[in-house]
Structures are given as C-alpha cells and as structure tokens.
Structure 1
Amino acid sequence: MSRMEILDNLGNACLTSFFVTGTWDHSKLLQSLKAYQNAEKDERMKSNPDLYFNCATVNKYLENYDRALAGFEAAALKDPSLNASEEVEKMVNLLNKLEILLRGHSKSKRLASLASTIVNSSYKRATLDVLSEGLNKAVAVPGKVLFFVKHENITPLYFLVCNSDQSCFVLSVYGIRNDAIKEGDQLTLLEPHFRNIDFSWKGKCYKFKSIRVDFLEQVLVNGKALPPHQAIRTSIYAQHKP
C-alpha cells in the first residue's frame, strides 16, 4: 500500500469516527480533510472518484459549501455511478430553501423580543455583528427559533433563528436529537462557531450568516440545559468501493 493510499484510508477513518462518535468532534473532520488533501497530491490518486467524494463530504459537514459542491461535481464526472450528482442536488435544494426563508423573514413581524436568559457570568451576551469568524469563546448568543428547516440529510439539523438585534441567521446543530429544539423555543448558544457564508455556484450567489454548535452543552433551550438523552449518534460512513 502506497503512502497516498494510507493517507486516503486515514481520511476515511477520521470521517467515519466523526459520525460514530456523535457528529460533534469537528477536529476529526479537519484531520480527515488534511489527509485527503495530502492524498490528492499524488497524480495516481487524482483519478480516484471516491477520494473526491469523501473530501466533498468532509467539506459539506465543515459547511464549506462551495468546495463541497465542486468536489461532488468532480466525483460525478469521474464515476457517474456514485450518488455525487444527487448530493449536489440536495445541497443546492437546501441552500435555495435557506435563501428563501432568510429573505422572507429577515424583517418579519414574527421576530418578537427575546426573554432575558441568565447565563454563567463567564459568558458575555453578544449579537451577530460582534462575532468573530470561527469559534467565539466565552460568548453567549441569544435567539428565537423561527423555523425548523427540513432537508434530505440526517445531519445536521438546520434552523432559522432570530437574534436579539432582530437579524436572522442559519443555525446548524450536530449530535442532538431532532425533537430537542422546536419552533418558538428561545435559545442561548454558548461558544458558537460563526461563519459568514458568501459564494456563488452556477451563477447564483448565496450569502448568509451561520452559527454551528457541536455539543449538547452549547445549547440552552428556554433557559435550561438539554438532558444527556438528547444526544444522538448517526451511522454515515466514508464512501469506499472494494
């Protein structure tokens, strides 16, 4: 087995580990992405459609939507028998749905004022405009759930949320059961991972603010911590054809 094949297998192992441990440890995704990217440096591996598919899958769950779409499209061209084209279609459908919801409710009268939730004094309450790209330590972001966004994948859960400054954002939640958060719930998101999504695909621009939470402990629902039984494991694995 060549070094690049070992790196490919390492990427598969890290991706699988991400799912079987509850889809909360994004360091596994970063390790997987690094292994796949190193494997891609070998000219022989560039003809491997599974490598493109798996790398695109990692980028999807890292919410690097543009890279994921490009990767799935490349995988589909190299091996039409993979379901990569379907993955592109599902992602575009989700992004279009998010865009429509955000556009329709950014100034909606449904954006009611938020009740004040008491959080540990070590956290500073914040609105979206002061968040930094990436992890925001010692920060608490309040919000109200406007919509649960149904889509075609098991994870993550997507919600449209209104912040205390009346702005809307997309919330993606990993490793938590789909009945733990409901429309109308008031949330407090602790140490959120913030992204400004801004890219174009096939001539269409997608631009929105996104917060990701990875741990059960990062979410207070109506002022209360979620109980341990609301954690969930999924069963999605790396694409690998013998």
Structure 2
Amino acid sequence: NLGNACLTSFFVTGTWDHSKLLQSLKAYQNAEKDERMKSNPDLYFNCATVNKYLENYDRALAGFEAAALKDPSLNASEEVEKMVNLLNKLEILLRGHSKSKRLASLASTIGAVNLNSSYKRATLDALSDGLNKAVAVLGKVLLFVKHENITPLYFLVCDSDQSCFVLSVYGIRNDTIKEGDQLTLLEPHFRNIDFSWKEKVFSPRFYSFLGGEEELKCYKFKSIRVDFLEQVLVNGKALPPHQAIRTSIYAQHKP
C-alpha cells in the first residue's frame, strides 16, 4: 500500500520529510474513492494518523472517530482522547503564559543572531500560512510540553513581540532544547490553528458526565513546526548531527 509505505518512510528515514506525509495522505484519499475500501476502518485510522502528524487536528480527530465507530477494537478512541488532552493542555498553558509577567522579561532578552544574509528576520505576525522561505523567527522557550506520544516534541515559545506560539519539533533528541533557550527557526512552517470539536460536558460539582451531552469547544492558537535539524539554531549555534534521532513508528494497520 503506497500510503503505508510513505507514512513508514516519513519516520524511518530520519528525514521527517513533510512531502512523504502529503504523498501518504494523497494515497489514502485515493483509496477512499474505492467503494470496497469505504468500510475499512484501518484506512480511516491510517489516514487520521497522517493528518495527526500533518497537525490537521480536526481531520485527524474526525478520522479516528470514524475508525472507532467502524471497529471499536482499534485504539482509535484512545487516539482521540490523547489528542483532545494535548489540545486542552496547550490551550491552558498558552492562556496562562500570555498573561504572565515573565513573558515580557523573557521576550526582552531575545538577542541578535548572526544570520546568513539570505534570511530575513520576522516575528510571528509577519508569517504566512505554510512554509516561509528565507525567513527566520527568533524566540525564547517558555517550557517543554509533556504529552502522551513519542513525537513530535512540543514547546511553548514567545517571540520578541511577546506573541506566544506552539512549536512542534521532529527528528531531534528531547534533551536538545531546554527552557530559557533562545531559538532561531529557519524557514518555519506556520499554521493558524482554528477549529471546533465536540467534547463531553463535565460538571465539577457532581464529578460526572451529564447524560453524555456534548458541546463544541474552540481551539485557536498559532503554531510553528520544524522538520529538520538544520532548521533550528539553539542559542545561536547549529545543532550537531548526533542530536538527530530516528523514531521507528509504522502504519499500525494495513488495509
């Protein structure tokens, strides 16, 4: 299956090539056009996995939910829960840090970096959706965000304008970037995340779900992803090759 092959290649080659994910997604979408495949839960699961790593959170959630409905024995419902937990955590952390006094202090310490003349320094507000060629964003790491998956690594970062964003990093050891580090992100891939997802209504007073009722929750934040070691300078220095990692994650199901 071409989709599975491209998804596996994304991880095991160590290049974390965005194009592999896009190829995989296209292959799965083509497979979905086959009437015989529309009832296959593995196809929905694998397509959702690709969308998860493309950080198309809304499509990933919908895909995992569809897979869970078609085959409850898959761990698709757990994937939904993990993703919602992550999104809720990011939202809470971003809200808390955007109002903190520490933010102004950290942002003021962002210093100049010797950049190749082909790069133009920019703040978050100047970025375009998608890949920003010949652009460098400088920021300070507020904290490392722990979550339930191996990859990517998530960080909360602020730029010199005190704009906070989520940084997702692929293919780099988890001890490479630390709180307080200054990062230079070269040719960042920028996303303005803005979508709604249904969640159970929870009553803290009664510690129970209220009859399984659901409400829409809106997730809205700015995100940058970097896929290659060469895209990150830590405290003005390029990362050595030994900081790169390969993660053996494969398509879990084979339609």
| Structure-2-length-normalised TM-score | 0.88
Q: Aligned partners of 2:10, 2:106: CA distance in 1, in Å? A: 34
Superposed CA offset, 1:128-147 (max 9, x none): 11100000011010000001
Count of residue pairs the alignment pairs up: 234
**2:55 aligns to what SS in structure 1?**
coil
Q: Is the 8 A contact 2:45 2:253 kept in 1?
A: no
Superposed CA offset, 1:46-73 (max 9, x none): 1110000000000000000000000000
Q: Is the 8 A contact 1:190 1:218 kept in 2?
A: yes
Superposed structure 1 runs of 4+ greater than 4 Å apart: 112-118
User: How far 1:238 sits from its partner (Å)?
Assistant: 0.4
Identity %: 97
User: How far 1:109 sits from its partner (Å)?
Assistant: 1.3
Q: Aligned partners of 1:226, 1:89: CA distance in 2, in Å? A: 34
* Structure 1 unaligned residues grouped into runs of 5+: 1-8
Q: Is the 8 A contact 1:146 1:160 kept in 2?
A: yes
2:71 to 72, 79, 89: 79
Q: Is the 8 A contact 2:107 2:139 kept in 1?
A: no
Distance 1:63 1:117, change over 3 A: same
Superposed CA offset, 1:132-183 (max 9, x none): 0000011010000001000000000000001110010000000000000011
* Structure 2 unaligned residues grouped into runs of 5+: 201-217
Q: Aligned partners of 2:164, 2:253: CA distance in 1, in Å? A: 39
User: How far 1:43 sits from its partner (Å)?
Assistant: 1.2
User: How far 1:240 sits from its partner (Å)?
Assistant: 2.2
User: How far 1:21 sits from its partner (Å)?
Assistant: 1.2
Distance 1:216 1:47, change over 3 A: same
Distance 1:117 1:139, change over 3 A: farther
Q: Is the 8 A contact 2:107 2:158 kept in 1?
A: no
Distance 1:115 1:222, change over 3 A: farther
Superposed CA offset, 1:20-49 (max 9, x none): 012620100000000000000011101110
Q: Aligned partners of 1:104, 1:23: CA distance in 2, in Å? A: 34
Which residue in the other structure is 2:213 paired with?
none
**1:236 aligns to what SS in structure 2?**
coil
Is the aligned partner of 1:240 residue 2:253? yes
Distance 1:40 1:241, change over 3 A: closer
Q: Aligned partners of 2:156, 2:89: CA distance in 1, in Å? A: 11
